[in-house]
Amino acid sequence: MDTVTIVVGSLRRPKLDAVGDAVAMPGPQLHAIARFDVVGVDVPSGVRHMPLSREEIMAGARQRVEALLHIARERNETWHYFVGLEGGLDVVNERNTRCVFLQNWAYVADRSGQGAFGQSGAIALPEPLARRVVDEGVELAEAIDAFAGAQGIRDAQGAWGVLTGNVITRQDAVRISVINAFAPFLSGTAP
């Protein structure tokens, strides 16, 4: 049985687990007879810690993949797929009202560097939470802990879990973005 290595530009366990979950079901469509090995490598996103636009979130995901491709070439790694993940906020104005949406984006590329984006969907932040993060510059991890009255939410259910009553967790949102980014490779429509 062949091993297909998927390298992820993060060392965070919820992200690595989400990628593993994302490829588990459609795995045979990616490679008929293979075992998938998900490996984490810490790389910078090149964007601010809390991106505040869809464009910045997408750029962070793509730039993580570009960093991984560079490392693969330098080290002569045989990685098959490269995954960049980035979460952030998309701040939009709807009828003169600020709306702040939490989103996760993934960018997946193959060895040639051809890739595709996938998004998790989005969930609106309550205004008090949006104010803390966007206006006051408090890190989302700290702000969601205070908002929920708990500790360590980032590495558990994440803000997604708090805002959806654990119907959708951070890992679920990341998994959905990864599946969406892999879709062109699954359907044979990859660039």
Q: What is the predicted pLDDT for the residue at 61?
A: 98
Cα–Cα distance for residue pair 11/14, rounded to 1 Å: 9
Q: What is the predicted pLDDT for the residue at 188?
A: 73
Return the CATH number of the domain spanning residue range 2-187: 3.90.950.10
Q: What is the predicted pLDDT for the residue at 142?
A: 92
How big is the chain, counted in residues? 191
Q: Is the pLDDT of residue 56 over 70?
A: yes
Tens digit of each residue's pLDDT (9 = 90 or more) over 150-187: 898 887 888 999 999 999 989 999 999 999 999 998 77
Average of pLDDT values for 70-97? 95
Quick one: 4 exposed, middle or buried, by C-beta within 10 A (0-12, 13-18, 19+)?
middle
Q: What is the predicted pLDDT for the residue at 27?
A: 61
Quote the percentage of the chain above a pLDDT of 70.
94
Q: What is the predicted pLDDT for the residue at 1?
A: 61
Tens digit of each residue's pLDDT (9 = 90 or more) over 102-155: 999 999 999 998 999 999 999 999 999 999 999 999 999 999 999 988 898 887
Residue 19 banded pLDDT, cuts 50, 70, 90: very high
Q: Is the pLDDT of residue 10 over 70?
A: yes
Segment 135-142 long-range contacts (CB within 8 Å, at least 24 positions apart): 139/49, 139/50, 140/50, 140/89, 140/102
> Can you give the residue ranges of every domain in the chain?
2-187
Q: Is the pLDDT of residue 30 over 70?
A: no
Q: What is the predicted pLDDT for the residue at 42?
A: 97
What's the mean per-residue pLDDT of the chain? 91
Q: What is the predicted pLDDT for the residue at 93?
A: 92
Cα–Cα distance for residue pair 191/185, rounded to 1 Å: 9
Quote the percentage of the chain above a pLDDT of 90.
72
